[in-house]
Amino acid sequence: MALQLPQGSACSRSPQPRVATPQSPPEPPNPSCRLCAGPPPPRAPEPATASLTALTYRDKFVIICLNIFEYGLKQQEKRRLELDTFTACVQEAVQENREQGKLRIAKFEEKHLLSLSAIRDESDLASMEARIVAYSEDITELSSVLMTLEMQLVEQLEETINMFERNIIDLVGLFVENVQSLYPFLRGRGWEALLGPGLTLATTLLPASRGLGRRLHA
């Protein structure tokens, strides 16, 4: 007894014998027939990196934590460069101010190298007093110049410190903001499944305990 295909699934390439006349046109292949369809097309290669939606919660957690760690290292390098720049600016300002002070003192010493000896050897009292007054005026002028240099250094350092503080605050604020934006991806359904009933119990008891504490302190 010959096998019969179900109605509507007959195929011209079926192994059943069929007599065909030369005048009859060839029948189109039936898509529902396995013999006509041929071998299945090859599957497209899967991407090398799977999307986060196809990963488990543990895999997502690890990937996000690694991204946070690498981002933290880059931001740490930026803060280190900022600190190095700040330190170099402070040292340069202090060294420049120190050199200017040394130059002023050297000029004063060169001018009044023999002043004390000349005052001691002076026999005329009026001339001695005139030398002392001139010497005192030069000392006052030198002191004023050194104090001016000191105030300039303080202003420079204050401006540099304020700029460094603003830059560090901006870097840290940007880092914290970007890291906090990743927290919702860590606190998902997998987080609740990982903690289990303990999370539900904690979220239920925490508001009640706060209310009880307020009533006790009232």
51 vs 174, more confident: 174
pLDDT tens-digit profile of 7-52? 444 444 444 444 444 454 555 555 455 545 455 555 544 433 445 5
Question: What angle do the packed helices 57-111 and 125-180 form, to 10 degrees?
Answer: 170
> Could you write out the DSSP letters of every residue in 126-168?
HHHHHHHHHHHHHHHHHHHHHHHHHHHHHHHHHHHHHHHHHHH
Please give the pLDDT value at position 150. 94
Q: What is the pTM of this model?
A: 0.54
Q: Which residue has the higher pLDDT, 126 or 48?
A: 126
For residue 71, pLDDT over 70 is answered with: yes
Residue 216, classified by CB atoms within 10 Å of its CB into exposed (0-12), middle (13-18) or buried (19+), is exposed
